[in-house]
Amino acid sequence: MEKKKFAVVLSGCGVYDGAEIHESTMTMLSILEEGGEYQCFAPDIPQYHVINHLTGEEMNESRNVLVESARIARGDIKPLSAFKAADFDALIFPGGFGAAKNLSTVAFDGANATVNQEVEDAIKQMLAVHKPIGALCISPAVVARVIQGVEVTIGNDPGTVEAIEKMGSKHVVTTHGQVVHDHKYNVFTTPCYMLDATILDIKEDAGLVVKEMMEEMKKNERI
């Protein structure tokens, strides 16, 4: 049996202005543990801003989302413009504020957010062929902005829940160790660091969402 191929979409490097490193790493680890393989992608665009992760203050410099994401991917990464659904079995988005600042404007515009065109195109490509889409932490809000009516979870944060509902999608309150699977759109989501968490919780959540995505793909093969 051929290994299932995941496209992992990163949004920079670091929780406050890019992809959450623990969630990204545990997602990639989980894919390999489940017998799959992955290719990292990121849009080749400027970051919204750069945050000093020691102080939390904004820094007077500019960085590129693809270049910063390459730190997590150890250089093995492609621009999201090169993504084609035909080449992959699943698409997954780790969290971090980069999903809400670089992949979209959810952090600033809430329910009225716009989504980066390449991100939207990747989601819609997978949606068109009913291949699994996974999203961790805040990134389900990005998916909810693209797929109106989708059922997702970000845990229980009231402001984000309200934004998702205003987008026309449905939110399910969850905690660690839970995955919401929207069967209609084949979307899998889990809260991760949207809740108080340790890296062990992140390993569990990322592992579960990848495992359920793999099980869905294997089930569809048997049908």
Catalytic positions, written as ranges: 137
Tokens of 3: 């290994």
Return the exposure string of 68-92: e unless at least 16 CB atoms fall within 10 Å of the residue's CB, then b. Answer: bbbbbbeeebbebeebebeebbbbb
Of residues 59, 119, 61, 55, the one with CA closest to residue 91: 119
Which residues contact residue 30 at a Cβ distance below 8 angstroms, ignoring those fewer than 6 apart? 203, 206, 207, 209, 210, 211
What CA–CA distance (Å, rounded) separates 132 from 22?
22
